[in-house]
Amino acid sequence: MRHGDRVKKLGRTREHRLATLKNLCRSLFIFEKIKTTLPKAKEARRLAERLIEFAKNDDLAAKRMIYRFIPDHKLVKIICEEIAPKFADRHGGYTRIYHLGPRLGDGAEMAILELVEQNDPSTIALRRRLIERRQIIEGKSKKEKKEQKKRAKEEKKAKETKPKEKAQKEAEKKVKPSKQTKKKAKKIKKAKKKAKKKEKRRRK
């Protein structure tokens, strides 16, 4: 029998457990209501209420402490400026849990974890779009930067090759003989051939 079992391991290693709790708290502060298993909801509630307690101070140290668990500057600002002020009169009990019963697949006890004071659905939707859109824009900007670099390289190569091609064409024009010079060269070749034939006949 384990005494002093304060840490619920949730069948995970320490790093995996912390990552799951951070993700649950992040989604809780974005949507203000999440559905998960009962043990995870209980552990996430402990961390979420602790972060709200820090956010009520609304100073730099509190924001840094929240950022350790939720590494998103925009969401930290939302927690400190929008969510925490609603709990100014409360001393704990910032969240609640609803039991939903067993899950069909594996029989795990399900629950809903939500904040006691919630915003309108429209503001929650705007918050979600703002946070998700920023990530999408960042991804697009990286792709655009790569494309711009490729285009710049192609343009440089084109600019470097154009003067070389022009110089080659000009040199070819200079080297190319005119029609008159070609006719003269043909006449000279014919004359040389005739002279050679005459010499052979004389020798015979």
**pLDDT surpassing 90 at residue 41:** yes
Q: Tokens representing 159?
A: 């600019």
Q: How many domains does the chain have?
A: 1
What pLDDT does 136 receive? 42
Percent of the chain whose pLDDT exceeds 90 = 49
For residue 36, is it within any domain? yes
Does this model's pTM top 0.85?
A: no
Choice between 98 and 158, residue whose per-residue pLDDT is larger: 98
Print the domain residue range for 79.
14-119
pLDDT band at 18 (very low <50, low <70, confident <90, very high): very high
Nearest to 90 by CA among 114, 65, 116, 66: 116
**What is the average pLDDT across 62-66?**
94
State the Cα–Cα distance between residues 56 and 80, nearest whole angstrom.
Answer: 7
Instruction: Establish if 70 belongs to a structural domain.
Output: yes
